[in-house]
Chains A and B, each alone.
Chain A
Amino acid sequence: MAKVILQLGDLTCPSCMTKIRKAVENQDGVSDVKVLFNAGKVKANIDQAKVTGNDLSSVITDLGYEVKKVKTKELA
């Protein structure tokens, strides 16, 4: 298990949040997805055997949002 934190560009429409959350949740091996609207961050727990932080980054990019930074942290 690892925790991924993605820093996006500024989010302006609340409906983007739902869109991003659902898209990320639909990936295999992803749980506890949180989209922080005001901070422009996406946080999720991932199973590294199934998915990587960069995979999530490209999912979000595909939706049309800029991903500025991807951080993956091993969970004990």
Chain B
Amino acid sequence: MTKLNIWISKNQNKMTASIAVLIALSLISDYLLHFETIATVFMIVASIIGAIPVALHAFGALQNKVISIELLVTIAVVGAFIIGEYEESAIVTFLFLFGSYLEQKTLEKTRSSVKSLTKMAPTTAELVNEDGTTETVDVDDLDEGDHVLVKPGGQIPVDGKIIDGIGYMNEASITGESTPVQKSNGDKVFAGSIADNGTITIETTSVGEDTTFGKIIELVEEAQDSQSPAARFIDKFATYYTPAVLIIGILVWIFTQNFPLAITVLVLGCPGALVIGAPVSNVAGIGNGAKNGILMKGGNAVNTFSHVDTLVLDKTGTLTTGKMSVTDIDNFGKDKNEDLALLSAVENTSDHPLGQAIVRHINDLGITDTPKLPELDTVKGQGLVGQNDDFKILVGNERLMKANDVKISDTQRKAINKRMNDGDSVVLMAVDQELRLVVGVNDQLRSDAREGLQALKDAGLRRVVMLTGDNKVAAQRVAQRLPIDEVHAELLPEDKVEFVKKFQEQGSTVAFVGDGINDSPSLATADIGIGMGTGTDVAIETSDIILVKSSFDALAHAYTLSKKTVANTKENIIIAVGTVALLLLGLVVGIIHMGSGMFVHEISILVVIFNAMRLIGNKSSKLDSNQVVSPAN
């Protein structure tokens, strides 16, 4: 029995093909050669071959107390066979089997986005043995602590730490960042990323499903199966609907005594397109997201996100890149380049983010001189001080200047105030009691924040709210350049949660976008938590939607995609229900029979799958200029 089962499931397509041949032969013998007996024999053989796999499926489901579509078809076919309608029975089984073949082929397409993701997962690794030799092993055979070798162009097989070598890693599959990052001794590397150059040895920390990449794949795989509310409803509906069709068929038989009509009802009532319609939209929609770096945790998340009307954003690390950069420099000394070289040299000694931004900026200006410096001391909360026989240098904030009696002229005061009004952090440099440089440093706005937010509003978002722990000036500075409706500043993480709750009480469906590190409570409280930024474990766990690429273009795409997926699901349900209704009407009018009914059914199944496939090709919507003309404020 088992062997027969496997043989049949492996050869079902060949069986379907042979039925097609038999039916064709039968029709030829009947209409061209007029050998009616031979024609009938062909149809009988075709019916039997076709009925076996269908009946086996039906029986298997019945063992689990499930009344399946296959059972309806089996009864109908056996019924047609008993009353001698061999042509009907053969054609119905053929259409049903051919339909499942096409269904399988097209379903593969809707699953293809995720399959391609899975294929990117590493399968083998170069294990370094204790004697220094290497061997190729399956990644599953690796353990924590194993050393693996990665050659230039090779894929990192595990999550781990570099213990030898240096190289540029392309981590696009994990962080969405396509510019290779240089990594060396002690740096973390991720499975699934590519070593663009350099040979490195890695000490394994996690393998397979436990790696960040493995978790991403697992999340998407599970998401595709987690049903939307519509799908769950249909599923429940189908468990009652299918037996109901069976009962109706029996009732029709009892009351009309018309057996052919009763078995036709069984075929026409099949909920094929209905059962497949809702899940297939989900699979295609979530697959499209995964391909574009948007990980949506299942049909529920898609559905809720499509209803979101209020978007709450964190500022730092979300609307801004979280990376400091220099906004402007005012020079009051004689030689600007010399002063900048001095500033760069001083800041190079500190690892403060402001200092590093300044060093980067001055390097980018092409100033690479390294003047001699006196010994530097750190004054906490003020800056750095250095003095030798030649000169005294001060680098820090205004308090440092005051403490050292540096005079600030009116023009200098104006320059400082201007920077502060813009919300910048201000770094001052004085040499021998003379203020020479005023530098503004700020967190940079993401380049596509404005276009992305505008696209979200165009797609139906009602309100955009920015919450930040930063001061009011800095918050306002960012908000006025963006289509943001509300700004609340100087908030603690728990205050942000309160705002999310308040909006929910007002009846809004709220999405919160954050980096998943200090925003976890808000991400969890909001109807939809959207993790933006790196693929950290925290973000993966607390968010409903994860944007692998930290971009607002991706956020806007996710929003429109969720709306399209929900609309697609509805279309499919309408197509499916409409088909059954039309078929029953056709039956009453007398133009639909068992064979043609089955044909229409199979067509409707293909129609819903093709409809869902439209979601796969729906590429990331590039914003065009006329979408961004009118910011809301």
Contacts and interface: CB of A to CB of B under 8 A. Distances in A.
A73 B208 CA distance: 10
B68 A15 contact: yes
Contact of A39 (B10, B104, B114): B114
A36 B140 contact: no
A64 B221 contact: no
B275 to A, nearest CB: 6
B164 interface: no
A19 B61 contact: yes
Contacts, number: 75
Interface stretch (B1-9, B334-342, B396-404, B412-420): B1-9
Contact of A36 (B10, B103, B225): B225
Contacts of B68: 13, 15
Interface string B224-239: 1100000000010000
B61 A64 contact: no
B57 A10 contact: no
A6 B47 CA distance: 35
Contact of B5 (A5, A13, A18, A64): A64
Interface residues of B, number: 35
Given A5-B209, A19-B63, A61 B6 contact: yes
Chain A interface size range: 20 to 34
Contacts of A13: 57, 68, 70, 100
B209 A38 contact: no
A38 B104 contact: no
A65 B114 contact: no
B179 interface: no
Contact of A15 (B66, B107, B208, B209): B66
B221 A41 contact: yes
B191 interface: no
A18 B107 contact: no
B61 A61 contact: no
B2 A61 contact: yes
B10 A66 contact: yes
A63 B60 CA distance: 8
Contacts of A73: 208-209
B114 A38 contact: yes
B64 interface: yes
Given A5-B209, A18-B66, A12 B222 contact: no
B10 A14 contact: no
A62 B60 CA distance: 11
Contacts of B100: 12-13
Given A18-B66, A38-B111, A64 B222 contact: no
A47 B100 CA distance: 37
A interface secondary structure, majority: mixed
B109 to A, nearest CB: 12
B283 A38 contact: yes
Contact of A64 (B60, B108, B208, B276): B60
Contacts of B60: 15-16, 19, 63-64
Nearest to B104: A12
Interface string B64-108: 101010100000000000000000000000000000100110011
A56 B107 CA distance: 26
B6 A64 contact: yes
A12 B5 contact: no
A9 to B, nearest CB: 8
A10 B13 CA distance: 14
Contacts of B275: 14
Interface in A12-34: 12-16, 18-19, 22, 34
Nearest to A22: B64
Nearest to B9: A64
A71 B6 contact: no
Contacts of A12: 100, 103-104, 107
A58 B107 CA distance: 27
Interface in B3-26: 5-6, 8-10
Contacts of B5: 63-64
A10 B64 contact: no
A61 B4 CA distance: 12
Interface string B106-123: 011001001000100000
Interface in B254-282: 275-276, 279
B224 A38 contact: yes
A10 B140 contact: no
- Max chain B C-beta neighbours (<10 A), residue from A5, A16, A38, A71: A38
Contacts of B8: 64
A70 to B, nearest CB: 11
A17 to B, nearest CB: 9
Nearest to B224: A38
B9 A65 contact: yes
Given A13-B57, A65-B9, A38 B2 contact: no
Contacts of B222: 34, 36
Interface in B22-68: 56-57, 60-61, 63-64, 66, 68
Contacts of B235: 14
A10 B6 contact: no
Contacts of B61: 15, 18-19
A10 B57 CA distance: 16
Given A14-B275, A36-B224, A39-B221, 19 more contacts: A5-B209, A10-B108, A13-B57, A13-B68, A15-B60, A15-B64, A15-B66, A19-B60, A19-B61, A37-B225, A38-B114, A39-B114, A61-B2, A63-B5, A63-B60, A64-B2, A64-B9, A65-B6, A65-B9
16 contacts: A12-B103, A13-B57, A13-B100, A18-B61, A18-B64, A19-B64, A36-B222, A36-B224, A36-B225, A38-B221, A38-B283, A39-B225, A61-B2, A64-B6, A66-B10, A71-B140
In order of increasing CB-CB distance, the 5 nearest A-B pairs are A64-B5, A39-B221, A38-B224, A15-B61, A12-B104
